[in-house]
């Protein structure tokens, strides 16, 4: 057996023992990464064994078919979140009076940048990404340059919508920290030990940030404001109480979970 193949089997064994699923793709990526950086796979495997996610080790991830740079202050984009991009694009097509999109809790910028890439010819639509974390924002800006849409998207540091003035005709997209405290404590060690708590924990009921965001939006008294959020499905009933009579669409993810909520707030 060639040295190369032996090395590949060793990588695959560690990935398997650590609970990875897409083993053939990731083992190949690790081998290519080690060759390119001229480092021994043993160094990478030691980090993998501690539970450190491969995407943090290599400093990038894939989202909506595009590469996104990451740092330890950015959440690793989740595949289910890609659906928010599709929902937002359809919404903008069906509601041409909406000329502004704000992505609150932008992290790596994956959602707003993916939208920007699809609608880059629609010059009349303003796009903005907001995050409270300075280091996450700096990666979002790098990603915007990487995807050549840095002139199309503005990035702001702020607590929810505080740094911006809401305009009529705005779609607000938010994948804010939504994991309720009880669920958070039981997450996998690769999430608990490596991903930013600030990006995941949504208070006791998982709705802390969404309640604040909705209250900020209401106080702005603007017309044609819709909000698209990603939620932990078990928090939907509590969210319904917060929303009262607003026109609301619940959208399921690919695993049939109630994951996205589109709310017409005015």
Ligand X SMILES: C[S@@+](CC[C@H](N)C(=O)[O-])C[C@H]1O[C@@H](n2cnc3c(N)ncnc32)[C@H](O)[C@@H]1O
Beta strands in 138-204 (DSSP E): 153-157, 170-174
- Which residues contact residue 197 at a Cβ distance below 8 angstroms, ignoring those fewer than 6 apart? 184
For the window 88-117, what string marks contact with ligand X as x by the rule CB under 6 A? Answer: ----------------xxxxx-xx------
Choose, by CB under 6 A, the member of 113, 153, 176, 214 that binds ligand X: 176
Min dist CB 234 to ligand X, Å, is 16
Count of residues binding ligand X (CB under 6 A)? 23
Structure tokens at 112: 């707003």
Min dist CB 110 to ligand X, Å, is 5
| Integer angstrom CA distances of residue 37 from 7, 32, 202 | 16, 9, 38
Choose, by CB under 6 A, the member of 48, 54, 55, 81 that binds ligand X: 81
160 interacts with ligand X by CB under 6 A: yes
Between helix 208-220 and helix 236-243 the angle, nearest 10°, is 20
Closer to ligand X by Cβ: residue 44 or 104: 104
41 interacts with ligand X by CB under 6 A: no
Choose, by CB under 6 A, the member of 52, 55, 133, 195 that binds ligand X: 133
127 interacts with ligand X by CB under 6 A: no
Q: Which residue in 80, 51, 40, 46 sits closest to 63, CA to CA?
A: 80
The number of beta carbons lying within 10 Å of the beta carbon of residue 102 is: 24
Structure tokens at 92: 């903008």
Binding segment (CB under 6 A) for ligand X, from list 6-14, 130-138, 216-224, 254-262: 130-138
239 interacts with ligand X by CB under 6 A: no
- Which residues contact residue 20 at a Cβ distance below 8 angstroms, ignoring those fewer than 6 apart? 26, 54
136 interacts with ligand X by CB under 6 A: yes
d(CA 35, CA 41): 9
**Rule CB under 6 A: which residues touch ligand X?**
75, 77, 81, 104-108, 110-111, 130-133, 136, 159-160, 175-177, 198-199, 209
């Amino acid at each position: 057996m060639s040295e190369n193949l032996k090395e590949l089997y060793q990588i695959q064994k560690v990935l398997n023992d650590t609970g990875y699923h897409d083993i053939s793709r990731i083992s190949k990526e690790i081998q290519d990464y080690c060759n390119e950086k001229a480092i021994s796979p043993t160094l990478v495997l030691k980090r993998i064994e501690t539970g450190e996610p491969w995407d943090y080790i290599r400093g990038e991830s894939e989202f909506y078919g595009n590469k996104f740079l990451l740092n330890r202050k950015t959440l690793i984009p989740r595949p289910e979140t890609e659906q928010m991009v599709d929902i937002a694009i359809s919404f903008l097509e069906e509601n041409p009076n909406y000329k502004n999109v704000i992505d609150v809790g932008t992290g790596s910028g994956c959602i707003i940048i993916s939208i920007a890439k699809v609608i880059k010819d629609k010059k009349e639509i303003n796009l903005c990404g907001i995050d409270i974390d300075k280091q996450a924002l700096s990666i979002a800006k790098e990603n915007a340059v990487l995807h050549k849409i840095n002139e199309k998207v503005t990035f702001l540091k702020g607590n929810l919508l505080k740094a911006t003035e809401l305009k009529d005709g705005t779609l607000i997209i938010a994948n804010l920290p939504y994991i309720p405290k009880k669920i958070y404590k039981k997450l996998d060690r690769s999430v608990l030990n490596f991903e930013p708590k600030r990006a995941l924990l949504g208070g006791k009921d998982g709705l802390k940030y969404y309640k604040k965001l909705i209250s900020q939006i209401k106080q702005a008294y603007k017309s044609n404001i819709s909000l698209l959020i990603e939620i932990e499905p078990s928090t939907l009933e509590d969210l319904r109480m917060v929303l009262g009579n607003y026109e609301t669409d619940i959208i399921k993810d690919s695993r049939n979970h109630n994951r996205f909520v589109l709310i017409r707030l005015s």
